[in-house]
Structure 1
Amino acid sequence: MAKNKNSKLLNLLSGSFGFTLISIFIGLIIGAIVLSIAGFNPIEAYGVMFKGVFSKPKYIAYAIIYATPLMITGLSVAFAFRTGLFNIGAEGQYIIGALVAALSGYFLKLPPIIHVLVILFVAALTAGLWGGIAGYLKARFGVHEVISTIMLNWVAFYLNNYIVMLDGFRRPQSETSYDILKTASIEILGNWKISDTGREWLANYPFLADAMRAPVNLGIIIAILLAVLISFILNKSTLGYQLRAVGFNKYAAEYGGINVQKSILVSMIIAGALAGLAGAIQVMGVTKNVAVLAAMEGYGFNGIAVSLIGGNTAIGSIFGGLLFGILQYGGPKIQSALQAPSEVINIVIGTIVFFIAIPKFIKMVLLLRKKRGEQFVR
């Protein structure tokens, strides 16, 4: 009986989900070692981080807000991975989506719900076309998507900075744009919660009142709906079958009658649209504007790690983004509380991604463990 239980446990850990759990555990262990070397108690530091996320409803809300754009950029990267492409351009597509959302959110005058839907559509379309440039170059001329998307990231970066500084869009004496109109916001009960009626009602529900102190918005709901939609497209639709077939073997797919060039283009358009939606949601729900960028914000690049943590699956990207959000929001609190280096969190994240990227090594260790267990039983 014990042998069967051990065998089942090892089989579970040998799967992709098991690799992820092991990688997270190793990342936390290495982070603890680094903290110990630096002279800090790792248990105390992780305790501070845990309390910094889960001790108050407001903290939980902020962690989810941090995680939401990462979920969607992770979804973008995962979609491209599943179709045989490496969308390292999610960063640029995110920037384009955010910029278009700020422009249409400020200049368009539409009713509340319609305004939100129009912005999401326009941002997704524009970022999708931006991603489609790399798809076209790959399909038509064989230009590798890693090279083209890296270049497009920088084009998007400087295009954002140029447009933000244009008269009529730039807020006077600043390096940010005007805020989007209230009709373009997806913040939940934004005006109501600061009204007299809202404050009186929330006073009866302290838990909810504390959570609403954060800029709670519809982004997390949109992210989950997008994950369900992408999962359905990839696993249950003809389009998903064709895209995955091209990803597995484009020559076999072409022999089977699938238009490979069209599939590459469509895949990059969808991936770009997803990353653009992440940028739009961040603007509509949190920042309300865009600013001149001194450096890449990292949402698209972190989406690559989120996708890997999530096993390059749609639903996995939601949980991977949530883990990232928790670490990124709770991690810096060890610096203010203990004066411990917050860079430890980046070491943890990097270690997790590193070990997820080498599953064969973990599998080898597990197999050795399994063989030793069998020899011990004998």
Structure 2
Amino acid sequence: MFTNRTINILIPIISVFLGLLVGAIIMVVFGYNPVLGYGALWEGAFGDSYFFGETVRMVTPYILSGLAVAFALRTGLLNIGVEGQVFVGWLASVWVGVAFELPMVIHLPLAILAAAAAGAFWGFIPGILKAKLGVHEVIVTIMMNYIALYSTNAIVRHVITEGEDQTERIAGSASLASEWIAEMTFYSRMHYGILIAFLMALIMWFILNKTTRGFELRSVGYNPHASNYAGMSVGKNIVLAMMISGAFAGLAGAMEGLGTYGYLATKSGFTNIGFEGIAVALLGANTALGVVLAAFLFGTLKIGALNMPTVAGVPTELVEIVIALIIFFVASSYMIRWVILRFKKEGK
């Protein structure tokens, strides 16, 4: 009745249902109407063209940060440094967008590639340290988040500008924004980056499932000792996996720099795009399609939550609780798996 593939699909679905259910119970306990609350959330995400555009805009970097985490996990690595890679990708894309005056056919691809290269470089450092010295990637990537944050702020203030806290706006030839999309969605910040996000999801699937290199990357992740015995270069594949993961994260930064904002301002803290990507990857079971669907769920919750206080009187913090509950149930998937298998045995 239930194959392993079916169970793997059911676990995130059940996790989302349980998260929403427990969230509804919490609403009732604190005196809120869950039907009105979730209705306001839906209206806030898809109620009109503007909200729909904002939801898609939020989904775009989530897809790419989720792919970054998922790719690393599929190759046996845990990239906690996606947030830092987002920063350097954002910086590189805006820098190219501000510094050059080129035709769009050259300028926009150059800015996007610069972001991917910057993210890949930021992933290369923990990758080479793990491959050559055995330094755990979790420790290095966490530390590099802070290096990226403060280095980016310093570069904005003292290199790109003269003491300013914000760069100039990028040239129109490097922008992902579209007047046509803006008019169609009542001037939301939706942009063409969603197409890049979908393309990257397809590329991740193709690399991991349809190429020899992808097979090697997955093999090293599953069993590095057996892979080494089979003649695969474990170190080389570790570095490559971290660079590809970093490139995805750098592109997430480009979506913000070239699409949503069109500039880079100094930050007092993290954007959380990279950290949310961990949750997106977990809910999406580290698959390309799963990450896309999970990113849409997270984008819907984040944007829809903004409508809940005004329409239903429900605080936006409740959505953060729902997200945390969903992640909790995904992390506790062994319990859901046990219930499904128990049901399977009783059904025989």
TM-score between both structures, scaled by the size of structure 2: 0.96
Q: Distance in 1 between matches of 2:347 and 2:114?
A: 58
Q: Distance in 2 between matches of 1:163 and 1:177?
A: 10
Residue equivalent to 1:17:
9
Matched, 1:278 2:268: no
Residue equivalent to 1:165:
157
Q: Distance in 2 between matches of 1:212 and 1:48?
A: 20
Gaps of 5+ in 2: none
* Range moving further from structure 2, 334-343 or 319-328: 334-343
Equivalent residue in structure 2 for 1:214, among 173, 188, 191:
188
**RMSD value, Cα:** 1.7
Does structure 1 conserve the Cα–Cα contact (< 8 Å) formed by 2:89 and 2:250?
yes
Does structure 2 conserve the Cα–Cα contact (< 8 Å) formed by 1:54 and 1:60?
yes
Amino acid aligned to 1:137: L
Q: Distance in 2 between matches of 1:334 and 1:212?
A: 21
Residue equivalent to 2:319:
345
Matched, 1:185 2:159: no
Q: What is the 5 A alignment of 1:207-286? A: 209-286=183-260
Q: Distance in 2 between matches of 1:58 and 1:333?
A: 13
Residue equivalent to 2:336:
362
Residue equivalent to 1:28:
20
Q: Distance in 1 between matches of 2:65 and 2:6?
A: 27
Aligned-pair identity in percent equals 39
Flag the 1:337–1:210 CA change in 2: closer, same or farther, 3 A: farther
Residue equivalent to 1:201:
none
Alpha-carbon deviation of 1:215? Answer: 2.3
Aligned residues: 348
Does structure 1 conserve the Cα–Cα contact (< 8 Å) formed by 2:44 and 2:306?
no
Does structure 1 conserve the Cα–Cα contact (< 8 Å) formed by 2:124 and 2:242?
yes
Does structure 2 conserve the Cα–Cα contact (< 8 Å) formed by 1:12 and 1:18?
no
Flag the 1:36–1:11 CA change in 2: closer, same or farther, 3 A: farther
Does structure 2 conserve the Cα–Cα contact (< 8 Å) formed by 1:13 and 1:19?
no
Does structure 1 conserve the Cα–Cα contact (< 8 Å) formed by 2:119 and 2:249?
yes
Q: Distance in 1 between matches of 2:212 and 2:109?
A: 27
Q: Distance in 1 between matches of 2:149 and 2:160?
A: 20
Q: Distance in 2 between matches of 1:193 and 1:308?
A: 31
Amino acid aligned to 1:184: A
The Cα offsets for residues 44-87 of structure 1, whole Å up to 9 and x where unpaired, read as 10011111112212211110100100100000100000000001
Matched residue SS, 2:65: helix
Amino acid aligned to 2:173: T
Q: Distance in 2 between matches of 1:193 and 1:317?
A: 24
The Cα offsets for residues 301-354 of structure 1, whole Å up to 9 and x where unpaired, read as 000000011110112111111111000000121112233121111111111111
Flag the structure with larger Rg. 1
Q: Distance in 2 between matches of 1:352 and 1:184?
A: 37
Residue equivalent to 1:291:
265
Matched residue SS, 1:164: helix
Residue equivalent to 2:124:
132
Gaps of 5+ in 1: 1-7, 195-208
Amino acid aligned to 2:67: L
Amino acid aligned to 1:114: I
Amino acid aligned to 2:277: G
Residue equivalent to 2:61:
69
The Cα offsets for residues 74-116 of structure 1, whole Å up to 9 and x where unpaired, read as 0010000000000111000000000111111101121112100
Q: Distance in 1 between matches of 2:6 and 2:210?
A: 26
The Cα offsets for residues 1-20 of structure 1, whole Å up to 9 and x where unpaired, read as xxxxxxx4x55895111001
Amino acid aligned to 1:273: A
Does structure 1 conserve the Cα–Cα contact (< 8 Å) formed by 2:85 and 2:122?
yes
Q: Distance in 2 between matches of 1:193 and 1:214?
A: 8
Matched residue SS, 2:91: helix
Alpha-carbon deviation of 1:373? Answer: 4.8
Q: Distance in 2 between matches of 1:167 and 1:102?
A: 13
Q: What is the 5 A alignment of 1:109-120? A: 109-120=101-112
The Cα offsets for residues 6-39 of structure 1, whole Å up to 9 and x where unpaired, read as xx4x558951110011000000011111111111
The Cα offsets for residues 144-166 of structure 1, whole Å up to 9 and x where unpaired, read as 00000001100000001111112
Q: Distance in 1 between matches of 2:127 and 2:340?
A: 39
Residue equivalent to 1:97:
89
Residue equivalent to 2:49:
57
Q: Distance in 2 between matches of 1:139 and 1:114?
A: 35
Does structure 2 conserve the Cα–Cα contact (< 8 Å) formed by 1:56 and 1:210?
no
* Range moving further from structure 2, 27-36 or 334-343: 334-343
The Cα offsets for residues 167-202 of structure 1, whole Å up to 9 and x where unpaired, read as 6525x7x521111111110112x2x689xxxxxxxx
Does structure 2 conserve the Cα–Cα contact (< 8 Å) formed by 1:73 and 1:274?
yes
Residue equivalent to 1:304:
278
Does structure 2 conserve the Cα–Cα contact (< 8 Å) formed by 1:275 and 1:300?
yes
